[in-house]
Copies of this chain bind each other. A is one copy, B any other.
Amino acid sequence: MTMPFEKTFPRVAPELLERAWTALQEVLSPGQVRRDEDTRTEYSKDESDSGIYPPDIIVFPESAEQVSAVFKTCQALGVPFTPCGARSGKSGGSLALMGGVAVSLERMNRIRSISVEDLTAVVEPGVITGDLMKAVEEGGLFYPPDPNSWQFCTMGGNIAENAGGPRALKYGVTKDYVIGLEWVLPSGEIIRVGRRTIKGVAGYDLVGLFVGSEGTLGVATEITLQLIPKPRHVMTALVIFDSVLAAARAVTAVLASGVLPRTLELIDDVALKAVDGRGFHFPPGSGSAVIIEVDGSVEEGLLAELARAGEICERQGATQTLVAQNEEQREKLWAARRGVSTALRALKPHKISEDIVVPRSRIPDIIEKLKAMGTELGLMVATYGHAGDGNLHANILYEGPHQRPLVETAIRRMLEMTVQMGGTITGEHGVGHAKRDYLALEQPPEVLALQRRLKAFFDPSGLLNPEKMFPDPKRF
């Protein structure tokens, strides 16, 4: 069941699993504990393409108390346990690498409250991000973070990974909207951290520490979010360039000019060709594209802002600027952007997606270097994503396992050049399993050691989501 290039980890002894199976049935109802092959297969992978790791038992708690009981049971027995949500993660953060118990939060999927007056919402971790977006927008509010998977990913996963998305450019990422958490610590202890107000500095920022901890320091069982008023007007333009380099230079120039759109997305030539014609047709001869979206509470200024951005793009060689004339056109354009990942998957049997970030001035540089690397190694490289904040999804497409060593070389070189430019190896996908062995490229040993000690502070047994994020000092 494993692919040839997967890493293998020690599995839990069968007799211990039997004891866990019995003990978990005592703290949960029958329908909440499973170990049939279909369920194990279903929960064995995510969207990271980094291997298949079936958990031995899958549980579906429905309250903080049940999550706590599961954690306590696993700790008492010494069985590894790994939380998961919609398994739409891109770094393997929810994979049960050692088997053991997968703790799915998907049944805790209620929106508990939305306050239009306070501009807040309280949700359970299994709420689908898109459902939250729709619900708050009905009340005139706005939840900005929009990971590509918003139609099916869950808020708990967004918290774990500190999810981003195109709108992060103007509005920030998940952590910028989480103000309070009900949190189950690895020990099973349930605590409440943070607050219900927009502002607050009482005590250490434990919310800040827990958001983005990738399911290694505990899980959220209730999330309090701050919202903003829904921007009343949105305007979207598609700007076409002959070359990706011109597009990248335009992105940098727009930002340096003082315009702050809510999105500045880039699609390179490979990605553009892959997605063209799948529900959206780019103008003939398009070499690369940038999607610029502006928003605000008053319509008057928006067209001027978009025009300004368009002019700057033209000075950088844009050949056409097309403004979406209605919501349908806008949605088609965004569907194309969201469809890039799937379209690229169709080009070759395998695809690895990295989500590097470079300082914004280095966007043209990194794109040029990635192109050159692809040519040199004979690999298809496609680059697209949130260029406005320097966050690019650099994809390597390949034929099969025989190319994997070459792919590994390409990934390492890509991450090395990113770090050399002052960048980071992950902008929004997380380290998880996929990038664990690369984190040392970016962070020095003393910082890795501090984080490992912090993990041990919260989880002395190390049973929660083992073998994630930080390279094993013994193996690295």
Residues of A within 8 A of B (CB): 115-120, 140, 161-162, 164, 168, 172-173, 175-176, 189, 191-193, 195-206, 208-209, 211-213, 217, 228-230, 232, 252, 255-260, 296-302, 304-305, 308, 357-361, 386, 389-391, 422-431, 435, 439, 442-444, 446-448, 450-451, 453-454, 457, 469-470
* Closest residue of B by beta carbon distance from A259: B297
A158: min CB distance to chain B, Å = 12
Q: Would A201 and B212 be within 8 Å (CB), given that A117-B361, A260-B297, A361-B117 are in contact? A: yes
CB-based contact B308/A390 at 8 Å? no
* Closest residue of B by beta carbon distance from A185: B450
Partner of A172, one of B176, B257, B429, B430: B176
> Which residues of chain B have C-beta atoms less than 8 A from A446's C-beta?
189, 191
CB-based contact B301/A202 at 8 Å? no
Q: Would A357 and B301 be within 8 Å (CB), given that A119-B255, A213-B204 are in contact? A: no
> Which residues of chain B have C-beta atoms less than 8 A from A457's C-beta?
453-454, 457
27 contacts between A and B (CB under 8 A): A115-B361, A117-B360, A118-B361, A119-B255, A120-B359, A140-B258, A172-B176, A176-B176, A191-B450, A195-B423, A197-B389, A197-B422, A202-B439, A203-B443, A203-B448, A203-B451, A204-B212, A204-B217, A206-B450, A229-B255, A229-B258, A296-B296, A297-B305, A297-B308, A298-B301, A300-B304, A301-B302
How long is the Cα–Cα vector from A189 to B450 in the complex, in angstroms?
11
A445: min CB distance to chain B, Å = 10
How long is the Cα–Cα vector from A228 to B450 in the complex, in angstroms?
31
* Closest residue of B by beta carbon distance from A198: B389
Q: Would A162 and B205 be within 8 Å (CB), given that A255-B229, A357-B198, A447-B193 are in contact? A: yes
Q: Would A200 and B424 be within 8 Å (CB), given that A206-B451, A302-B301 are in contact? A: yes
How long is the Cα–Cα vector from A118 to B361 in the complex, in angstroms?
5
CB-based contact A118/B200 at 8 Å? no
Q: Would A447 and B191 be within 8 Å (CB), given that A198-B357, A300-B301 are in contact? A: yes
CB-based contact A256/B116 at 8 Å? yes
CB-based contact B257/A229 at 8 Å? yes
How long is the Cα–Cα vector from A115 to B118 in the complex, in angstroms?
37
CB-based contact B308/A357 at 8 Å? no
> Which residues of chain B have C-beta atoms less than 8 A from A430's C-beta?
201
Q: Would A199 and B164 be within 8 Å (CB), given that A176-B172, A192-B444, A301-B301 are in contact? A: yes
Q: Would A209 and B212 be within 8 Å (CB), given that A193-B447, A203-B451, A357-B197 are in contact? A: no
